[in-house]
Structure 1
Amino acid sequence: MSAAPGLFVTFEGGEGAGKSTQIQLLAQALRARGMTVLTTREPGGSKGAEAVRHVLLSGAAEPYGIRMEAILFAAARSDHVEQVIRPALAAGSVVLCDRFMDSSRVYQGITGNLEQPFIEALERVAVNGVMPDCTVIFDLPAAIGLERARKRAAGPNEQPDRFEKEELQTHEKRREAFLDIAEREPLRCRVVDATRTQETIAADVLAIIEPLLPITAARRPHPEHVS
């Protein structure tokens, strides 16, 4: 786990699962309870990592092979951890991150067919001891998520990224891989049904995270309970 005064929560799932929306809803709810919240994302989240983000999502790294792509993800994650996540946790913040190490396990490891020892070695170096306290996995049939993602990419100045362009079968395999991770690590991972309304999902996510909040915040009265 993060071994820091703050709380580190990662949001995982396939394309179009609604992670970004739910991160913002959770951040709003926690800030209303007096928490200091940092929302961030991968690839990206720090100056160095954002520089790598375009290379990865545009597909510019794809011709160099999945191994190179995995190394670039790890380099971006290392910078993100050291420059943003670790300092925020040390300061007692709640850090909510859109994708983290499990995405590399699934995207480059499972569907990229990279050997597990290689993925584990990259992960160990990149996270450098900073592990999520909780990972919320948003489960959605791949066909639904892909349709959502492609509709989003059809807007002005938008286009499908490197991963949204891939075949449905690949996306469904990733869904299964995320569920496998949740089954193997039940103390860290919680699966949320992402087919429901945003409000219902947000309530479930808050119920998962509230018991994990730092004790000083947990004892602080909620605004609706203040007389």
Structure 2
Amino acid sequence: MNAVTALDRPVRDLVSPEEWETRVNLAACYRLTALYGMTDLTATHISARVPGVEGQFLINPHGMFFDEITASSLVKVDYDGNILLPSPYPVNKAGYVIHSAIHAARPDVDCVLHTHTRAGMAVSAMECGLLPISQHSMRFYNRLGYHDYEGLAQDEDEKKRLVRDLGTHRALILRNHGLLSAGRTVAEAFSLIHYLEKCCQSQIDALSGGQKLTIPPGQVCEHTARQYEAFGILGTRDWPGHLRRLDKLDPSYKE
């Protein structure tokens, strides 16, 4: 988990074209998370499975802000916490625990994104959890896990409970902690957290109004969730636009 000596060759020369593409998309996801105001200094993390290799994933160097992350700076680590390419930065222990657990248990998940946003933390502390009070929140109806708070996620034993509570879902609320998405692609993980964050913000706004809330019948919420699922992998249509936006602002994420 600790930093190791620096490389003497460019990372792009040391990895497969498929891994490099994943690195570029993951670095873009970090930049977008910063752009949309969902960061917590260096405290949270996003990971992506290394394509074509068992038991390896990419994660942020612990000490860089999200708007500084580049494709080359991402740290490659295995499920035992070993850093596989030299990096001047260590890996966040909680990030390793959370992400290694999900990648190992869910081969359908290629990207895991965890946030500590103001709205996400607020809803994570609500006994009611996420309420189906908006079209966006109905996307997550019966498709959202909850994991009780156990302290900083540094205990290896917590992995099995994280995996259990996520189940087959693509989103998880970590009670008294924050939000998590588990995407089939980097684009899907980002889109899921983007919409889950909006749901939390709108729930806080609605509750602050002091009026009785209207909640549609369960069958309507389920119908809406299935309609969303029929669209396929979330974020596919949006991702090229996100990359165009980043290219206009600062294309250094691709370095």
Q: Normalising by structure 2, report the TM-score.
A: 0.25
Whichever structure has more helix as a proportion of its residues is: 1
Q: TM-score, length-normalised on structure 1? A: 0.27
Instruction: Pick the structure with greater CA Rg.
Output: 2
